[in-house]
Amino acid sequence: MNKQTKVWLVLSIALSMLALGSACGGPANNNTSGTNANATAEAGPYSGPTGTISGVISYNGTPPAPKKIDTSADAVCGQKNPNLMTDDVIIKDGKVANTFVYIKEGNVEAGKKIADYSWPTPSTAVQLDQNGCHYEPHVLGIQVNQKLSITNSDATQHNIHPTPKLNPEWNQTQANGAPPIEKTFARPEVLIPVKCNQHPWMKAYIGVMRHPLYAVSKEDGTFEIKGVPAGSYTVVAWREGGANGEEKTMQVTVPANGNGKADFAFGAATTSTKPSLQMMPALEFPMLHK
């Protein structure tokens, strides 16, 4: 092989390698860019017509009675709140308070799923107070990454201890007169139990949501979820009770500029319930061959 032939052979190999590198590298970068652009478009905020979901939470039959709490372990609690009762059952005239109602999933009239849209994180913090040696409110909702501001209005020390399954667990003491504790939750989770290690009767529940489409029933059992995109949804109502709480589900259609009705009923005369505190999904692993 002469010298000229060798030069042409080396040039041919070099050109082939450059062409191969362009074929492997160039389109891959373009596809990645296109995927990110599509993801951004799918995650935009909703701007179409909205309506509301409203209803009443009822209880059929004789409800369990609240119990008086023995506060003798902390004299401050007894002095400030001598008739402290349990918060797990607040039912008046057959209507249930502290029921967490939220949109679990569904389709918007525009053809997309409610999960396709993004929702801005509110700039205002959600308040949780320790007053009279119990949590106020007993049940609350908050969006992902929204601030939770925890205050202590009692003249005694408390210890706030959420026990989530999908978010990091934490446990922090708050003395009387201490500044508010501010926390956030990075993942949706319904619902997170909160306890006080100083006073074991103190309990609260936090529903962490991607969207603001939730509400907590009042003492008269009523609730209202505003700003719901027109569409059809699975709506869940959760109340404290049993080991993991009770929940009911209902399909609700929300018309544009209208109202979707969602009345729920708990109690012995209603259909069976199921636990709804967030449970970890079952994981499937491939079988290993011997």
Question: How would residue 70 be classed by pLDDT, with cut points 50, 70 and 90?
Answer: very high
Instruction: Give residue 243's pLDDT.
Output: 72
**Is residue 57 pLDDT above 80, yes or no?**
yes
**Is residue 268 pLDDT above 90, yes or no?**
no
Q: Can you tell me whether residue 222 is helix, strand or coil? A: strand
Instruction: Give residue 14's pLDDT.
Output: 54
pTM recorded for the entire structure: 0.78
Higher pLDDT, 18 or 174: 174
How buried is residue 212: exposed, middle or buried, by Cβ count under 10 Å (0-12/13-18/19+)?
A: buried
Q: How much of the chain, in percent, has pLDDT values that exceed 90?
A: 71
**Is residue 47 pLDDT above 70, yes or no?**
yes
Residues 120-210, CATH architecture: Sandwich (2.60)
Q: What letter would DSSP give residue 280?
A: P
C-alpha dihedral, 101 to 106 to 109 to 113, nearest 10°: 120
**Is residue 222 pLDDT above 80, yes or no?**
yes
Question: How would residue 245 be classed by pLDDT, with cut points 50, 70 and 90?
Answer: confident
**Mean pLDDT score across all residues of the chain:** 83
Question: How would residue 49 be classed by pLDDT, with cut points 50, 70 and 90?
Answer: very high
Q: Which residues contact 162 (CB under 8 A, 6 or more apart)?
A: 169, 170, 192, 193, 194, 206
Q: What is the pLDDT of residues 118-172, one digit of tens each?
A: 999 999 999 999 999 999 999 999 999 999 999 999 999 999 999 999 999 999 9
**CATH number for the domain formed by residue range(s) 44-72+92-115+218-272:** 2.60.40.1120
**Is residue 273 pLDDT above 80, yes or no?**
no
Cα–Cα distance measured from residue 97 to residue 40, given in angstroms and rounded to the nearest whole number: 39
**Is residue 175 pLDDT above 60, yes or no?**
yes
Instruction: Judge whether 214 and 103 are in contact, CB under 8 Å.
Output: yes
Cα–Cα nearest to 233, from 256, 222, 249? 249
**Is residue 191 pLDDT above 90, yes or no?**
yes
Domain boundaries, the chain: 44-72+92-115+218-272, 120-210
